[in-house]
Amino acid sequence: MKLYVPEMSCGHCKSSIGTAIAGLDGAATVEFDMDARKITVATDKTSAEVIDALDVIGFDAEVAD
C-alpha cells in the first residue's frame, strides 16, 4: 500500500514511522520517498490499521495513489 504522510520530513520521522509499523507487523517492509512524503508498506495489515498506528505516534497519513 502507498500512504501519503505530509508531516514526514527527516530521518527521525523515518525512524519513528518504521518502528511503529514494525510494532504492528514485524514482517512488514517500508520504503520511503522523503521528497514526495510517501511510504510504500508491504504488510498483511489493512491500510486503516497502518494509518491508526501512525496516528498514535502523531503522524497523519492517508492512502496515496
pLDDT reported for residue 33? 97
Return the pLDDT at 15. 97
The per-residue pLDDT for 65 is: 80
Give the pLDDT confidence score for residue 28 in this predicted structure. Answer: 98
Is 46 a residue whose pLDDT tops 90?
yes
SS (H, E, C) the chain: CEEECCCCCCHHHHHHHHHHHHHHCCCCEEEEECCCCEEEEECCCCHHHHHHHHHHCCCCCEECC
Tens-place pLDDT, residues 11-45 = 999 999 999 999 999 999 999 999 999 999 999 99
Section 45-51 average pLDDT: 97
- What is the C-alpha to C-alpha distance for residues 45 and 6, in angstroms, rounded to an integer? 21
Read off the C-alpha cell for 6: 505530509
Find, among 34, 29, 27, 64, the residue nearest to 47 by Cα. Answer: 64
Can you give the pLDDT at residue 10?
Answer: 96
